[in-house]
Structure 1
């Protein structure tokens, strides 16, 4: 994207007219990379030259602001879009809804849903997943579940994002058994079960001391060929520590290095969890292992010892 932006500025400096569709691509690309201010600067330059921006450009800027946490700027740009005579579509409203839900303004997001449906706009899975996630995080799981079922009535396919959002809400509300039922339904319906699906469930099962179920689900994930990510490994390590399997957690850590997976704060996380659970002696043993590990790294690889932290 940097080379594209350089080319755009070079063309401008030389007085070469940049086609409007090319400018639109530059703005959208910058916003997708999180460079919303640069995208806005190109947009304003486009407007000053008398070019009319397509709704996709407005939507990209709104989405960029919303995802970066600048909801007020996103909403202001949304209003400007309407003032400029550009009609928002369901994708634009989806970006607005995502920002509102991320900021906890779920009721306003629900109002957007009602407006879109009332005006015959097709509401897609991304739109629904944002609302389900927002309702779940607000503790309104029953409403999230109703919305999930409403998708079927509206003929909108339920993807893994929607399932994961609802499962996450259920788990956060202590309804892990309902989340497991949803997990099995996901399997029956042929919806892809992602690493995020497993991380949600494994983490919650360990928190509820249902250790064997969590480990069984981990094995199921591996058997299905789903590759664990850092967050998933972290959930496993913390869960193993909470269930008294500290030695196994340390063995897992040893196995990660050859795989190229580095959990920088793994030992610190494990120590913190053990101490909070009142298992201070085990936490101290883990701290000792942490010390020995860094001592080994220092002696074998020449890592400066003063860079090694045992405990903050």
Structure 2
């Protein structure tokens, strides 16, 4: 088109940009826009709205503000969609003050907010726990009708502040207005009931959900499963799990984690392992926290040898054994000052041809240092240096948080680490 001397049509450019945004090809959006400007295509409000929407998708508030400034300099006036997108972006980024300030700009521009605007602003207040202001804005809504999103946002806000009474009052109020709760509304209330140990009331709410023909989702089921696991009622937790599968829902990472934790608390390690293996087979990698529960239970019952054999059980089940399993076990044994167990796992790991990472070496070195084996700790740090395994800022902060009560010992250890050049200049600079 350009070779023939034709300038691209503005509408065609807008359609192209919009398609790129939908496909999340943000970098391509900026390239196309630059080419548009270069060939003399003058952007209108629709083009700028697409660009700001792209910023919203990518979470780039700074770029969105630049486009807004560019609009104003080009004499293009923002419309309702522009302001709503900006508010949504600010809320997404947790920039609630900026989101609320957009309302003033709208008034200055003579643009009346719609229910989308109000919902976003109410969300901003609710997320900050400013329910008084959220309710004031709710009562001030004009030329718009509060909808399900409005009420659900307010209900969730009250639940987050532990004000279940106000949340329930709003639920009845929305029903009076002919607006019925969705599963998202119920999930907020259900979560708060379960957190307060009100399982009976939670089940009543679940019955009501069924009477309204509202299908529970993963969040609903996981909330109940987690609540039952916390009180040790594994039979009820498994019943909910079975209903979940019967409803066509799939167990997710949270489901497995809750059930594993529940069985570990109940000291039923056979079932805990079964769900651990199922979790891995389903493609969900367990976290350090999940493996820690296994280590803790076995240590309490002085059955450390059983958990040391866990990698072999993985192999027998046909599961992949990688460094993440060894890392988690070594970290937890070191945390519990079971240095001999950590050393055994480290030896087994090396026998399998798996190389340790910075977390493993640092955990072992600090455990040895803390137990008085300074020379062994130094050897481990020397090996780290030879393998160019550096201690990152993230690892440093994680250790400081994990061993918060060891200030004096930890301080000496870090000095030893710095002397061995195991922290980069940038990391040391960030620590100053």
- Paired with 1:14 and 1:238, the residues of 2 have a C-alpha distance of 65
8 Å Cα contact 2:7-2:40 kept in structure 1? no
- Paired with 2:237 and 2:5, the residues of 1 have a C-alpha distance of 62
- Paired with 2:280 and 2:73, the residues of 1 have a C-alpha distance of 64
| Equivalence for 2:80 | 90
- Paired with 1:21 and 1:98, the residues of 2 have a C-alpha distance of 25
Other structure's SS at 2:77 match:
coil
Structure 1 residues 35 and 193: alpha-carbon distance in aligned structure 2, compared to 1, 3 A threshold: farther
- Paired with 1:88 and 1:29, the residues of 2 have a C-alpha distance of 21
Q: Which range moves more in the overlay, 199-208 or 249-258?
A: 249-258
Q: 1:268 aligns with which of 257, 282, 299?
A: 257
- Higher RCO (C-alpha 8 Å, min separation 6): 1
| Equivalence for 1:168 | 156
Please list the CA deviations of residues 119-141 of structure 1 after superposition, one character each: whole Å capped at 9, or x if unmatched: 43120112111111111111211
Please list the CA deviations of residues 192-215 of structure 1 after superposition, one character each: whole Å capped at 9, or x if unmatched: 422211111111110111212211
- Paired with 2:172 and 2:3, the residues of 1 have a C-alpha distance of 59
8 Å Cα contact 1:267-1:286 kept in structure 2? no
- Paired with 1:283 and 1:207, the residues of 2 have a C-alpha distance of 24
Aligned pairs for 1:142-181 (under 5 A) are: 142-151=132-141, 154-181=142-169
| Equivalence for 1:234 | 222
Deviation of the 1:251 alpha carbon: 2.5
Q: 2:36 aligns with which of 46, 57, 60?
A: 46
Q: 1:123 aligns with which of 97, 113, 129?
A: 113
Structure 1 residues 286 and 150: alpha-carbon distance in aligned structure 2, compared to 1, 3 A threshold: farther
Structure 1: gaps (5+ residues): 1-10, 298-302
Structure 2: gaps (5+ residues): 283-316, 329-432
| Equivalence for 2:189 | 201
Deviation of the 1:88 alpha carbon: 0.5
Q: 1:245 aligns with which of 214, 233, 236?
A: 233
Q: Which range moves more in the overlay, 58-67 or 133-142?
A: 58-67
| Equivalence for 1:7 | none
Q: Which range moves more in the overlay, 237-246 or 72-81?
A: 237-246
Structure 1 residues 192 and 17: alpha-carbon distance in aligned structure 2, compared to 1, 3 A threshold: farther
| Equivalence for 2:175 | 187
Is the counterpart of residue 24 in structure 1 residue 14 in structure 2? yes
Structure 1 residues 296 and 107: alpha-carbon distance in aligned structure 2, compared to 1, 3 A threshold: closer
RMSD: 3.2
- Paired with 1:281 and 1:244, the residues of 2 have a C-alpha distance of 6
Please list the CA deviations of residues 107-129 of structure 1 after superposition, one character each: whole Å capped at 9, or x if unmatched: 22222112313443120112111
Structure 1 residues 114 and 206: alpha-carbon distance in aligned structure 2, compared to 1, 3 A threshold: same
Other structure's SS at 2:220 match:
helix
Asked which structure has the greater CA Rg, the reply is 2
8 Å Cα contact 1:163-1:186 kept in structure 2? yes
Other structure's SS at 1:305 match:
coil
